[in-house]
Amino acid sequence: MVVADNPPVVQELALDRDCTTLSRHVLQQLQSFSGDAQELSALMNRIGLAAKLISRRLTRAGLLEGALGVTGEVNVQGESVKKMDVYANDVFIAVFKQSGLVCRLASEEMEEPYYIPENCPIGRHTLLYDPIDGSSNVDINLNVGSIFSIRKQEGNDEDGSARDLLQAGHKQIGAGYILYGPSTVLVYSMGHGVHAFTLDPSLGEFILSQENVQVPTHGPIYSVNEGNFWQWEEPIREYIRYVHRHEGYTGRYSGALVGDIHRILFQGGVFLYPGTVKKPEGKLRLLYESAPLAFLMEQAGGRASTGTQDILDVIPERLHARSPLVIGSKEDVALVESFIQDWKRRQEEEAAIAARS
C-alpha cells in the first residue's frame, strides 16, 4: 500500500504551528517589532526557560537526592518551605540574571523584592511570581504550578521600597501560569486574549496548542476547600448549600490553584478561596496569585472578584497582601456575589431595625 504524503497546504499549516513558539507568538500578538515588543517576547522566552528547568526537576524529583521534602525553614508567609520552592525560586533568579530584561523580581518566597543591579539600567519591568504554587502537592507527585505577573517598573525606586507595586491589577501588562501536569502547559496573556502552549519534550520548546481560550459563561464545577465550611461567613455556606441542593454541579478541588483554575478556564465553573471569620482576607496573595489569574480570566471572558469588588481594582497595602478570591465563569462568579450582597443587605436591615428599637 502506498501512503500518500500530507497535501502541501496541510504540511505547511502543521509546520507553521510547530514553529509558533512563545517568543514568536508574543511578537505576533503585539503586532510589532518595536523595542518594547522584542523585550516582552524575550521575557516570555525566559519564563519558558524557567518553566522547562522546573519541569525537568519535577519529572525526576523522586530519583534526585534532596529534591523533595522541607528545608526546615519558614517563609515570610509563615509557611514551611519546601526544597522545590527554593529551587524554583532560584531558577527564576538565575534565568533573569544578566538578561537585561527585569530589574526586579518579587516572589512568594522572598520577603523583599530581589534587585538585579546589572539589569536595572535597561530592564524596565518587574516580574512577580509564585515559583511553586500548591507545594503541598509536590511530595506526592500531584500537579503543581507557577504563576507570573509582569508590570512596568515605575519611578527609579532608589530606596528599594517597591511602592509602585502597590497598585491595582489593571497595571499588569502580562500574566500567566505554568501547569506541571501530565504535560507541562504554559498559559499567558499580554492583554490580547489567552493562549495555551504545551511543552514538546522532543523539541524542548513550548508550542502553541490553543489560541484565544474563552471560558464558558457558566460551568458545572465549583472548586473550594469545603473543610473550611464552619470557618466561613454565612453567605459562603449558603452558596455551598445551594450547589448541594441543585442538579448540575460537581465539586473538584486539587489543593493547587493553578490546576483548579486551568480546569475552570477550559470547562467553566467557579473557584473560591473565601476569607474566614478569623481571617477575612483569606489565604491567597494578591500580587502574584490572585491578580495575575484575574487578568487571565478577564482576558478569557470570565471574572474575578473578592466577593464584593473586582480583583483587578484592589490596591494592596503590602507586597504580600492577601485577598479572598472568587474566579471563573461570569454567571457563576455573579451567583456567589449575589449571596454575599443579599447577606450584607439583610445585615444592614437588621442593624437599622436594632438601631430604631
DSSP 76: T
DSSP string, 326-354: EEESHHHHHHHHHHHHHHHHHHHHHHHHH
Q: Does 255 bind ligand AHM (CB under 6 A)?
A: yes
Q: For ligand AHM, which residue of 79, 211, 238, 331 counts as binding (CB under 6 A)? A: 79
Under rule CB under 6 A, which residues in 120-179 are in contact with ligand AHM?
130, 133-135
Burial class (CB in 10 A: 0-12, 13-18, 19+), 282: buried
- Cα–Cα distance between 254 and 274 in angstroms, integer? 16
Candidates 65-73, 236-244, 255-263, 315-323; binding stretch for ligand AHM (CB under 6 A): 255-263
DSSP string, 211-278: SS----SS-SEEE--GGGGGGS-HHHHHHHHHHHHSTT-EE---S-HHHHHHHHHHH-EEEEE---SS
DSSP string, 36-53: HHHHHHHHHHHHHHHHHH
Between 125 and 320, whose beta carbon lies closer to ligand AHM?
320
Find which of ligand AHM, Mg ion, none residue 255 binds, CB within 5 to 8 Å per kind: ligand AHM
Q: Is 284 left (phi over 0), alpha (psi -120 to 50) or beta?
A: beta
Find which of ligand AHM, Mg ion, none residue 135 binds, CB within 5 to 8 Å per kind: ligand AHM
Candidates 20-28, 127-135, 194-202, 213-221; binding stretch for Mg ion (CB under 5 A): 127-135
Closest CA to 48 of 195, 181, 197, 215: 197
Candidates 43-51, 86-94, 124-132, 316-324; binding stretch for Mg ion (CB under 5 A): 124-132
Find which of Mg ion, ligand AHM, none residue 283 binds, CB within 5 to 8 Å per kind: ligand AHM
Q: Does 109 bind ligand AHM (CB under 6 A)?
A: no
As measured in angstroms, the least distance from the Cβ of 273 to ligand AHM is 6
Q: Does 283 bind ligand AHM (CB under 6 A)?
A: yes
As measured in angstroms, the least distance from the Cβ of 37 to Mg ion is 30
- Cα–Cα distance between 304 and 39 in angstroms, integer? 29
Between 133 and 205, whose beta carbon lies closer to Mg ion?
133
Find which of Mg ion, ligand AHM, none residue 295 binds, CB within 5 to 8 Å per kind: none
Find which of ligand AHM, Mg ion, none residue 222 binds, CB within 5 to 8 Å per kind: none
Residues forming contacts to Mg ion in the complex (CB under 5 A) are 130, 133
Residues forming contacts to ligand AHM in the complex (CB under 6 A) are 79, 108, 130, 133-135, 225, 255-257, 273, 283
